[in-house]
Amino acid sequence: MAQTPVSKKIRADNLYFIYYYSVKNHSQMRKVNPLNDTQEHTDGPPRKKKKNRGMNRQRPRDQRPDNSSKLCSFAARGEECTRGDSCFYGHDPQKFLETKEPDIGKECVNFLKSGKCPYGISCRYWKHHTTADLKSIINEEFFSHYKEDTSNNLAKDVQISLRKKKYMFPRSNAYLELLSNAQNVNTQTGVVRTHGCVTNEDLIKLRTQEKKRIDFSDKLYLAPLTTIGNLPFRRICKQYGADITCGEMAMCTNLLQGQQSEWALVKRHSSEDIFGVQLCGAFPDTMTKCAELLQKETDVDFIDINTGCPIDLVFNKGAGSALMERKGKLQQIVQGMKSVIDIPLTVKIRAGIHDKKYTWNAHKLVGNLRDWGTDMVTIHGRSREQRYTKSADWDYISEVAKLASPMPVFGNGDILSFEDAMQHRKQAGVAGVMIARGAIIKPWIFTEIKEQRHWDISSSERLDILRQFVNAGLEHWGSDTQGVEKTRRFLLEWLSFTCRYVPVGLLERLPQRINDRPPAYFGRNDLETLMASPNCEDWVKISEMLLGPVPTTFAFLPKHKANSYTETEG
C-alpha cells in the first residue's frame, strides 16, 4: 500500500494545522483554524487545546423568505388561485421570474419521476417542464401511474384534533387509570397492588390480532441519527445494504401537539422494509399516548425508546439517558407502551451515565427490560459522560448481552470496517450490530460487511453517491429555492463527516480506525483531495458541483463540533 504523504507533523497542542489541498494543482495551501480563532498563537507556552464538544450554537440559521416574495403555488403552475383574497403570496409570474435565481440544471428529478413538478416556475429546473406561456407540462403516461413513495404524512384532521386536545387515547387512558389505581395502598393490609404486566383482564382488552414479530438476528441496523439520519440519507444506506432503519429522535410531546416539523421525522420511504420510529420522553402518560398515536396513524414496524441521548437539554428533563437512573419511570413507560401497541418495542441504552466503569448500570437494567416485555435492546458501549472521547467497550457489551438472553441485543460503537463488525459480532455474542458514525463517514460500509471486503471506492463513485442524495433531497424537500437550500444544508452537514474517510488505496495499514486522526494527504486526483478537506469552504465547493452556486449571503457552520478523533502526540 502507498504511504500517505504528510505535509507537516500535526501537533495536538497547536490550534492550527496545515492542510494541503488542490483544485487545479497541488501548489495551493490553506491554513485552517478548527476553533475559528482570529489570531494565531505564536508566543509563550503552548495553549491547551479546547475540547470541541456539543453543538455550534452560534452557527448561521436558515432564513425563510418573506411570503410576499414567494409565488403562489397555483400561479407557479399557471393555474387560477382558489384562495382568493386570503392568499398572501405573489401572483405575478413575470415579476417573480425577474428576481428568481437562475436554473441549476436542465432536468427536474420530480418531473422525471412523476411526470409533473408541483413547483411550476418556482422550480430551479422550471424550463424542463414549463411551456412558453408559463403553463406546467404534465406527462400523462407517467403521472397516471405515479404512486407516492413516502408515507406517514400527518393528516390534517388528525393534526387539528391533536392541537385542540380532542384526539382520543382509549387504550392509554385505560393503562394510566390502572397505573393510578395500582399506586393506591391498602391501608389495612399494607399491600400495594403493582401494575405488573398488562393482560387482557381489568380495563385493557388486547387486540385480537397476533402481535407482529421481527427477526432481528444478523441484521445491519442503521442507527437513528439526529440531523443526518434524514429520509434521503436513509435511502442511500438502504441502497448500500442496511437492513433496519429508524427515523431521527422525535420528542413525544411535540408529536402529541401535532407539530409539522416533528412529524416530518417519522416519514417513511417505500424502500425501508424494516422501519422504526424513535421516541424520546420522560413520563409514562405522554410516551404511552404517543405510542398509541403512532400505532393508529402511521405505518411503522417497531417503536424504539431513546434511553441513551446524552444532550443536556434532554437529560435535564429526565429523558434520554437520564431514564437509566429512573428505573420506576422507565418501567412504567415500557409496560405502558407495550400495552397499547401491536408491534415490537425496542430500547436503546448506553453503558451508563458517568465516566467511571464501576458506576455503569446497563447490566443491571437489561434483565428488567426483558421482563417488562422489551423485544430488543441496543447498547452503545460508552457512558453519557464519555461521549466519543473513549473507545466503545465491547467487553462490557458482551457481558450485557449474556445477561439479557434470550432477548436479542445489538451492539453499537466504533464500527468502520467489515473486520470491526465481524469481530465485535462474534466476540460479543450480540444478535447484530448498529452502525452510526461509520455509516455517515462511508455509507457503503453495509456493502463491505455483507461482501466481506474492502471497497476501494473512487472519488467519482463517491460523487455519484452525493448526487443520489441530492436527487433524493430534491424529491423530499422540494426543487424550489427553499428545497434546494435545505438539501444543500443537509448535504454540508453530511460532508462534515465524509471528509474523515481515507481511501483504501492510500492506507498503509488496513482497516482505518474510526478514532484515529488521519494525517493531511494528497488524494489520487483533485476531487479525492478536495473531498478530504476539513475546510467548510471546500464542502461548499462540492455542494456547488451538485446544486449550483450558493447565494451571496450564504454561510455555513456544521451543527456538531468534531471531537471524535483522539488527540495525537506532538
What amino acid occupies position 329? K
Contacts (Cβ under 8 Å, ≥6 apart) of 440: 225, 228, 494, 497, 498
The SS3 of residue 304 is: strand
Task: Take residue 309 and report the three cell numbers written for it.
Answer: 441521548
Contacts (Cβ under 8 Å, ≥6 apart) of 199: 206
Residue 269 vs residues 244, 496, 549: alpha-carbon distances, Å? 13, 25, 29
Buried/exposed code over 88-121 (b: 16+ C-beta within 10 A; e: otherwise):
ebbeebeebeeebeeebeeebbbbeebbbbbbbb
Q: What is the sign, positive or negative, of the torsion defined by CA atoms of 351, 352, 354, 357?
A: negative
DSSP state, residue 518: P
Cβ-based burial of 522 (10 A; exposed 0-12, middle 13-18, buried ≥19): middle
Is 309 tagged catalytic?
yes
139: left (phi over 0), alpha (psi -120 to 50) or beta: beta
**Beta partners for 244?**
221
Which of 447, 407, 409 shows the shortest CA–CA distance to 425?
409
Separation between Cα atoms, residue 137 and residue 110, nearest integer Å? 12
Buried/exposed code over 41-60 (b: 16+ C-beta within 10 A; e: otherwise):
eeeeeeeeeeeeeeeeeeee
What end-to-end distance do the CA atoms of the chain give, in Å? 26
The SS3 of residue 418 is: helix
Residue among 108, 309, 499, 536 flagged as catalytic: 309
Separation between Cα atoms, residue 567 and residue 110, nearest integer Å? 45
DSSP state, residue 171: H
| Cβ pair 349, 378 in contact under 8 A | yes
With residue 451 as reference, give the H or E element that holds it.
helix 445-451
Alpha helices for 66-204 (secondary structure H): 73-76, 93-99, 109-114, 140-145, 156-163, 170-182
Task: Take residue 67 and report the three cell numbers written for it.
Answer: 411570503
Task: Take residue 449 and report the three cell numbers written for it.
Answer: 460487511
Which of the residues are catalytic? 309
